[in-house]
Amino acid sequence: MNKFGVLVVEDDAPIRNLIATTLKTHDYKYLLATSGEDAIMQASTYSPDVMFLDLGLPDIDGVEVIKRIREWSVMPIIVISARSEDEDKIEALDAGADDYLTKPFSVEELLARLRVMQRRIALLQTDNELIENSVYVNGKLKIDFAAGCAYKDGEELKLTPIEYKLLCLLAHNTGKVLTHKYITQKIWGSAWDSNVASLRVFMATLRKKLNDDKDTTNLIQTHVGIGYRMLKNDSM
Ligand code: CA
């Protein structure tokens, strides 16, 4: 796969330079922006493949940038935020961001996030095919949407209706971090605290049935205090 184009939006020069140097070293094409308005302008002009977005920008708020870009683009957005800003991360994910990177981060973390997005982009491109065929395959997991069945290693999983709904929701958003609020709203139509507690229970039983805790490469990632993500697994 060709290394894609990355738009880096960060007003803090040392962090911006670190990201730029990393991308350059690894042959990614990149553009730099230092404000929200500049980010929106460059995103619409150059159509980058993925965006790193700092949430604290000098002009408009990062969450506002996401909302405006999401009006016309599904480009993966990775938010950059400080460790203390969990609320901001959740707000950004609910506004349509795909992933987040917490400051301070390592070069390895940055590159790992890009690889996840590379897989997500490949998946978004085959999304139409997926809907047409109505079958989702991810490593050893297979979901037959038309039949309403899920399989692991060719064996049908005995899922409850809520577990199945949960699995489909994660599969449809492979590579994207989904917040507790987003998931509970999709599954139960509301995001009450009691539903978030139920979600943990359903997620635990779903993972047990998937045997996800015993595999060396987990399919469902837990983001403590934030939510869950289905990873695209080619090697399983
Ligand atoms: Ca900043």
**How many whole angstroms from 38 Cα to the centroid of ligand 1?**
14
**How many whole angstroms from 67 Cα to the centroid of ligand 1?**
18
**How many whole angstroms from 55 Cα to the centroid of ligand 1?**
6
Q: Tell me what pLDDT residue 1 has.
A: 42
Which domains does the chain possess?
2-126 (3.40.50.2300), 132-230 (1.10.10.10)
**How many whole angstroms from 53 Cα to the centroid of ligand 1?**
9
Q: Tell me what pLDDT residue 217 has.
A: 62
Sign of CA dihedral 216, 207, 123, 181: negative
Q: Tell me what pLDDT residue 132 has.
A: 59
Q: Tell me what pLDDT residue 236 has.
A: 42
Per-residue pLDDT of the chain (236 residues; tens, 9 = 90+): 456 899 999 999 999 999 999 999 999 999 999 999 999 999 999 999 999 999 999 999 999 999 999 999 999 999 998 877 788 999 999 999 999 999 999 999 999 999 999 888 888 777 655 555 688 989 899 999 989 999 999 999 999 999 999 999 999 999 999 999 999 999 998 877 788 889 999 999 999 998 876 655 689 999 999 999 999 877 54
Q: What is the 3-state secondary structure (H, E, C) of 141-203?
A: EEEECCCCEEEECCEECCCCHHHHHHHHHHHHCCCCCEEHHHHHHHHHCCCCHHHHHHHHHHH
**How many whole angstroms from 98 Cα to the centroid of ligand 1?**
19
Tell me the whole-structure pTM to 2 decimals: 0.86
Partner residues linked to 230 by β-bridges = 220
**How many whole angstroms from 122 Cα to the centroid of ligand 1?**
30
**How many whole angstroms from 199 Cα to the centroid of ligand 1?**
34
**How many whole angstroms from 11 Cα to the centroid of ligand 1?**
5
Residue 133 φ/ψ, nearest 5 degrees: -80, -20
**How many whole angstroms from 102 Cα to the centroid of ligand 1?**
12
- 112 DSSP assignment: H
* Rounded-to-integer distance, Cα 182 and Cα 191, Å: 8
**How many whole angstroms from 80 Cα to the centroid of ligand 1?**
9
By CB neighbour count within 10 A (0-12 exposed, 13-18 middle, 19+ buried), where does 131 fall? exposed
Residue type at position 21: T
